[in-house]
Amino acid sequence: MNSFNLTPRKWIETTNAIGIISKAGRHGGGTFAHRDIAFEFGSWLSPGFKMYLIKEFQRLKEDENDRLKLEWNLQRTLAKVNYQIHTDAIKESLIPTELTKHQICFVYASEADLLNVALFGMTALDWRTSNPDKEGNIRDYANIVQLVVLSNMESINAVLIRQGLSQAERLVQLNKIAITQMTSLVNSKQLKKLK
């Protein structure tokens, strides 16, 4: 009960406590405790302080979650912007002028799946078939590292398309690039800070 009275010095002597120090004296004297002990003591002493700690912790976790969502959304947006570079290269180099809209969509989907296979090892249809309960697509469930690599691969594929490489040749190169970049980024200290 918090009506129980025990001086810090008596507590230290009785329990052989560590993490709390009590010094006598006018200058430099006082009771000092590890912050976990201080928070617990403050919570025990004051219900208002305990509520403040709980509310502040909840606010900080919400801020952290919002920041992580923003970082993920930023990477997803970057991948979408780079996809425009990718689709422009497809339009300029791979689509003959006499195709129907349906055939043009097939070319874009084929190129998107080229990137999916190079990075994720499966097509969008393969992913949907193995994840019927999930909404969206494979890229919506990618982590930040995968989104960074995907964004890079879109730009690289645009260059490879303009160089005239076949889809099979590009797939081999993009897969090697995905492996190299994933290996490098998985160990990146900067990306670990975002997780």
Tens digits of per-residue pLDDT, 170-185?
A: 999 999 999 988 888 7
Helices 47-93, 101-120: axis angle to 10 degrees equals 120
CA dihedral over 124, 130, 135, 141, signed as positive or negative: negative
pTM reported for the whole predicted model = 0.51
Query: What per-residue confidence (pLDDT) applies to 20?
Result: 84
pLDDT at 155: 87
Structure confidence at residue 94 (pLDDT): 65
Contacts of 137 (CB under 8 A, 6+ apart): 124, 127, 128
In the predicted model, residues of the chain with pLDDT beneath 70 are: 1-6, 67-68, 70-72, 74-76, 78, 80-82, 94-99, 188-195
> 152 Cβ partners below 8 Å, 6+ apart?
82, 177, 181
